[in-house]
Chain A
């Protein structure tokens, strides 16, 4: 397990939040008409991960270069925490030729082979792919692991159950991470999932499962560390479910009327100010550091947005490229 570095965890969470806040702002900045999700410099759907930073940061702090992640439609926090280049990722979100995928993927389909990072916009379908990556790592005799990330809604997909069985059966170095943000778009978990904890489902497939109730980055760090160590040692897969928080809508433009009273308390549950307060109380974070960490992150995000907006677009003819290798 990696050494716990609280300041690094905090810094990475702030960096991601600054990124998501800025994307939120830029996404809406030039929509004309405002309701047209296909308009503007950033077109299409936008699923932001604000509130879920503890999951990505706690898990990725235990990963090393060469480990793989399959992320779902809400991928930015895991991408950034796993080392995907912010400039190339932003350019992709802007549909530019300098983007990770030359403008062919967009925000739900980010592929970074250098970091073994990929996304799928189809719920639960990243799980089997992660199993295959883990299978490859094992066959090659490496100690790399694959992390399969999806939301609580994905745990009701067949792909999830098939993958848990395969991974346990073949003792694959996979860590299944479920981000339980209470909501599968507008359907509350209590209406979708029979089990109170997906950790119980893991046990049903013969692998360790833990549920972390409080969206605590350090608890995620510890649990992921143990699971990743286990996988690297050849002892097979584990599942970690984190009860996290969807601070914003399912996608940008989601009015969230369905959330009712749940929305009234989201700000007080925001994990970043809570962690800042905890670190301040421990004497590990000062006002000055809070400001400098925020401004460093803002500067990095600024540079990424500038890189993206000043990058060339692909041409229409480029749409015909890359169907086949």
Chain B
């Protein structure tokens, strides 16, 4: 393959995730995958596409619908030195297994005084926008980021999805890898063109804890994550035609949070809009406001603004759901408001 061909290889986020897992499984026999429908189906949202064919039932394990059982089993396997990747099909299902996640996966290293590592990846699908309603559309990353002991990664595009997956697998800590269904590039959901992108074939890592400036700008900073990065980039392009220069900061991980990149951008623009598809109160948007306020509130030339789900469960009907999600038109309105 020529260099040119390599650089133009474009794949979906889902495929990029699976490719990252496959590369690590080839490199390290201790890596294995388990979860519901991760086998021949390839993961409901494509995160384990083709892995079963290559690695077989012994390393790509379909589980019963027993999230407490198999997440706990992942923890036990990790404690014994294996590197399990466990899929919780929807993050909304956390209610049936939260004890294993927060009281065990997240706390064992601390409780043991640093003597026991839990090197596992828990990956899970987040987000709405396709009328799956209140129990299958949440993001909830703020909930998990709030609880000490879990690294939380939130990729927005194929390149980061692969590099963050490889970093997550190699990390000696539990990593919650939250991928947005709408950013997976699935054929059965609304197409977001940014969900297909250039991904090198070879192995590479994206460090956990480093935000990316997804687009440089000078007037307004949008701090955001996951699918909302794609929407924000769309808005930034559109507003650029209207003479507004928007910088988009893609957090890429919530734990650790790259406060330096946020503050640097806000210091430059003096205006910030935080866009989050999670619930508004006590979450990511408030946390970033606090980061700025604790550092230097005078950096802001306009009052802090945030756009998030307005503290309601995710509704079903399209008009209702679109009414509460951080859609492109609401992001654009937020930016324009900051510029007025």
Contact = CB atoms under 8 A, between A and B. Distances in A.
Interface string A117-161: 010101001011111111111011000001000000000001100
Contacts, number: 147
A104 B76 contact: no
A255 interface: no
B72 A136 contact: no
B66 A165 contact: yes
Given A125-B99, A323-B149, A130 B64 contact: no
Nearest to A104: B113
B104 A129 contact: yes
A109 B113 CA distance: 10
Contacts of B77: 132-133, 135-136, 139
A163 interface: yes
B112 A104 contact: yes
A324 to B, nearest CB: 5
Contact of B76 (A105, A122, A136, A322): A136
Contact of A111 (B32, B68, B112): B112
Interface residues of A, number: 44
Contacts of A282: none
Interface in A251-277: none
Contact of A159 (B72, B109, B119): B72
A139 B82 contact: yes
Nearest to B117: A325
B271 to A, nearest CB: 33
B69 A113 contact: no
B70 A128 contact: yes
Contacts of B78: 132
Nearest to A92: B113
Contacts of B117: 325
Interface string B95-113: 0100110011000111111
A201 interface: no
A99 B72 contact: no
| Chain A CB within 10 A, most for which of B69, B76, B84, B149 | B76
A104 B104 CA distance: 14
A232 interface: no
B80 interface: yes
A196 interface: no
Contact of B72 (A101, A132, A321, A323): A132
B76 A101 contact: no
B145 interface: no
Contact of A122 (B32, B75, B99): B99
Interface in A289-325: 321-325
A103 interface: yes
Interface in B22-36: 32
6 contacts: A70-B76, A100-B112, A112-B115, A128-B73, A136-B76, A166-B69
Interface of B: 32, 63-64, 66, 68-82, 84, 96, 99-100, 103-104, 108-117, 119, 148-149, 151, 172-173
Given A133-B79, A146-B76, A322-B114, 18 more contacts: A70-B76, A100-B112, A100-B113, A104-B112, A105-B111, A111-B112, A111-B115, A120-B103, A120-B104, A122-B104, A129-B104, A131-B69, A136-B82, A162-B64, A322-B113, A323-B109, A324-B149, A325-B119
Interface of A: 68, 70, 99-105, 109, 111-113, 116, 118, 120, 122, 125, 127-137, 139-140, 146, 158-159, 162-163, 165-166, 169, 321-325
